[in-house]
Amino acid sequence: MALLTLCSDIGSRDYLAGAIKGQLLSIDAGFQIVDISHTITPFNYNQAAYICRNAYKHFPSQTYHLILVNLFDRKPDHLLLAYHRDQYYLCADNGILTMILEEKPEMVIGLPLDSSTTRNTLYCTRIMAEAIQKLQEGVGLLQIGEPDITIHEKNTLRPAFGDNWIECQIIFIDSFENIVLNITQQQFEQQRKGRTFRIVFKRDEVIDRISETYADVPEGEKLALFNSAGYLEIAINKGNAAGLFGLQGFTEKNSNFQNRLLYQTARILFE
């Protein structure tokens, strides 16, 4: 019985999320379907990669991950089916795959799309489901589609490092308006080397210690901690950090220099 995850940017206000599940179950009623998120911000590859990567690593081997994010960035003539570290990934050929994996997949094939058929979200879902069904029936991966296909690659947004500083970007703002930066605890400690530090954002806001929980500071006070995924997070105890500080997540659409300085970055200074 195949375990499938779903992650998309289609939202949850209309019929489509339910229709996708119906499409999958019509192919194989035995599919076990787990929602990751359907509220990825449209066109936000870095947010999608962060959410998918940190969810997928907790799933058992041989899970099938369907990534319905920006399916039509370009007019598709194929989808991707990749096998990597004992997991399967199905997505558009738009660069999201290498952003999630942070490396090239071990094996990837192209799933051809019929040019005479309307290539909408439900059609793409059906192509993915049929490929999974074939794998479950014992058909070899290389027999399902086009092997050795050249894929479109994108890199994740990475922090910049200096001897005494790190510049980070905001890659996600959660439902509590906590701000997630693209620096992990391991990267932070490697650069810190035991030194004191200041996290500086919105020009004059400073945090100089790492908390273990939100309750480590009084209600309404700002703090920094490493979240469950191991990324640095700026928050306010029982408050909305992003709204209060006027911060927003990094996207390719609003990445011009002025916006990035004011809204999308934080600097860590070591002393």
Distance CA 213, CA 226 (A): 9
For residue 113, the SS3 value is coil
Prediction pTM value: 0.90
Contact 127, 80 (CB under 8 A): no
Q: Is the pLDDT of residue 256 over 70?
A: no
Sort 161 into a burial class: Cβ within 10 Å, 0-12 / 13-18 / 19+. middle
Contact 166, 192 (CB under 8 A): no
Output the average pLDDT for the chain: 92
The CATH number assigned to the domain with range 3-147 reads: 3.40.50.10790
**Half-sphere exposure of residue 24: CA atoms within 13 angstroms, side-chain side:** 24
For residue 262, the SS3 value is helix
CATH architecture of the domain covering 160-270: Beta Barrel (2.40)
Distance CA 148, CA 145 (A): 10
Q: How confident is the model at residue 106 (pLDDT cuts 50, 70, 90)?
A: very high
Residue intervals of the chain classified under CATH 3.40.50.10790 are 3-147
Quick: pLDDT tens for 137-186: 999 999 999 998 999 999 999 999 999 999 999 999 999 999 999 999 99
Residue 101 has a pLDDT of 97
Q: Is the pLDDT of residue 253 over 60?
A: no
The structure tokens 């806001």 sit at 205
Residue 109: count other Cβ atoms within 10 Å of its Cβ.
22
Q: How confident is the model at residue 250 (pLDDT cuts 50, 70, 90)?
A: low
User: What secondary structure letter does DSSP report for 261?
Assistant: I
Q: How confident is the model at residue 260 (pLDDT cuts 50, 70, 90)?
A: very low
Quick: pLDDT tens for 126-139: 999 999 999 999 99
Averaged pLDDT, 230-255: 83
Q: How confident is the model at residue 202 (pLDDT cuts 50, 70, 90)?
A: confident
The DSSP annotation for 117-180 comes to S---HHHHHHHHHHHHHHHHTT--GGGTSEES----B------EEETTEEEEEEEEE-TT--EE
Give whole-number Cα distances, 139 to 85, 130, 146, 147, 212, in Å.
Answer: 19, 11, 14, 14, 48
Q: How confident is the model at residue 200 (pLDDT cuts 50, 70, 90)?
A: very high
Quick: pLDDT tens for 22-69: 999 999 999 999 999 999 998 899 999 999 999 999 999 999 999 999
Residue intervals of the chain classified under CATH 2.40.30.90 are 160-270
Residue 20 has a pLDDT of 97
